[in-house]
């Protein structure tokens, strides 16, 4: 209650008046392009004009790939995932295949995003609930994102199921 009364009385006070700018010193005015976190405002001199900054645009348009492009990308990514699968078998599954509880096959879904140049920009690995191995999945997720496909010309997302061995 005491805090509420203090806030009420504190907020009722008139703010301190601002000093009037003199004729020799222009008042600081933030320019439209000024950073919000900037502590030093941009000072405009009398007679200066404000201009609106030109928005920065990317040289690469964001367009949805056509059905043909998507089909080609699906095939290209399937080939890339096949090479990834061979590495998973060699480095992740083979050393653990004799462990108790290891299923005969481990199933995954590779979810990847590629930029217009064909460079992998995002990756997700999903495991099958029945045919899964947390150790193999953890090993697979440690691989660096280095898959590349022929340039599709647009941002694309692909899901490719695969299993090892």
Cα 57 to Cα 19, 52, 65, 92, 136, distances in angstroms: 42, 15, 20, 43, 42
Q: What is the mean pLDDT of residues 59-83?
A: 75
The string of pLDDT tens digits covering residues 92-114 is 888 888 888 888 888 889 899 99
- Where is pLDDT greater, at 32 or 89? 89
Spatial distance between the Cα atoms of 137 and 140, rounded to a whole number of angstroms: 5
Query: What is the pLDDT at residue 158?
Result: 92
Instruction: Kindly tell me if the per-residue pLDDT of 17 is higher than 70.
Output: no
Give this prediction's pTM. Answer: 0.55
H-state helical runs in 33-143 = 67-88, 134-141
Query: What is the pLDDT at residue 130?
Result: 82
């Amino acid at each position: 209650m005491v805090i509420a009364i203090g806030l009420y009385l504190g907020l009722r006070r008139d703010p301190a008046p601002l000093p009037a700018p003199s004729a020799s010193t222009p008042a600081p005015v933030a320019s439209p392009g000024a950073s919000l976190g900037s502590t030093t405002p941009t000072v405009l001199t009398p007679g200066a004009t404000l201009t609106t900054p030109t928005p920065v645009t990317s040289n690469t348009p964001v367009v949805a790939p056509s059905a043909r492009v998507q089909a080609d990308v699906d095939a290209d990514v399937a080939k890339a995932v096949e090479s990834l699968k061979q590495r998973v078998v060699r480095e992740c599954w083979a050393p653990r295949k004799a462990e108790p509880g290891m299923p005969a096959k481990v199933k995954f879904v590779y979810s990847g995003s590629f930029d217009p140049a064909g460079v992998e920009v995002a990756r997700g690995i999903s495991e099958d609930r029945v045919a899964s191995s947390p150790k193999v999945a953890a090993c697979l997720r440690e691989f660096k994102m280095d898959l590349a496909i022929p340039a599709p010309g647009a941002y694309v997302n692909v899901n490719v199921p695969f299993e090892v061995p």
